[in-house]
């Protein structure tokens, strides 16, 4: 069996300049855990995953309670500015800023056994499938167990 027999195709991709909120929206909307990131010419730069988003946003604690409490309790405006600045910075981050660049890739004619061996590495959650320089699909762990 070959990678082409199980890959998800076409692959949902983003470009390096896609902002992270849009990446997160696409991951949620398509119920996927990651996607290839392409440069302006369509060449693979790497992947971005939900894990990357979680790690990147972990230090930011959006103060949702500010809107509720501000009507009742005077809030520390300096703390509010700090959170606002963190959120502004996070919203400006792009997929290119968070791309995992050195990901293994496979070709459509790669034997499935080789793809499975690559995915034994816990850090490998997705294998972009390249035909030449073009991303034509991806193989995920879910694809392997279907």
Task: Residue 62: count other Cβ atoms within 10 Å of its Cβ.
Answer: 12
Where residue 85 sits, what CATH number does that domain have? Answer: 3.10.580.10
Averaged pLDDT, 96-109: 92
Helix ranges (DSSP H) in the chain? 20-30, 50-57, 65-69, 77-92, 95-98, 112-118, 141-145
Q: Which residue has the tokens 């050195």?
A: 102
Regarding pTM above 0.85, the answer is no
Class of residue 2 by CB neighbours under 10 A (exposed 0-12, middle 13-18, buried 19+) = middle
Residue 52: give the domain boundaries. Answer: 3-145
pLDDT band with cut points at 50, 70 and 90 for residue 60: very low
Q: Which residue has the tokens 């693979």?
A: 44
Query: Residue 51 has what pLDDT?
Result: 84
Total domains, the chain: 1
Judged against a pLDDT cut of 90, whether residue 77 lies above it is answered with: no
**129 three-class SS:** strand
């Amino acid at each position: 069996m070959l990678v082409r027999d199980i890959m998800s195709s076409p692959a949902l991709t983003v470009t390096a300049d896609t902002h992270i909120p849009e990446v997160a929206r696409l991951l949620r909307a398509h119920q996927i855990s990651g996607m290839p990131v392409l440069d302006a010419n369509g060449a693979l730069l790497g992947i971005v995953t939900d894990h990357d988003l979680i790690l990147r946003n972990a230090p930011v604690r959006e103060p949702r309670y500010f809107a509720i409490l501000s009507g009742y309790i005077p809030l520390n405006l300096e703390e509010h500015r700090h959170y606002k600045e963190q959120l502004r910075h996070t919203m400006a981050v792009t997929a290119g800023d968070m791309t995992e660049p050195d990901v293994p890739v496979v070709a459509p004619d790669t034997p499935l056994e080789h793809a499975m061996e690559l995915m034994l590495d816990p850090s490998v959650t997705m294998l972009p499938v390249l035909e030449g320089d073009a991303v034509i699909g991806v193989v995920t762990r879910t694809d392997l167990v279907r």
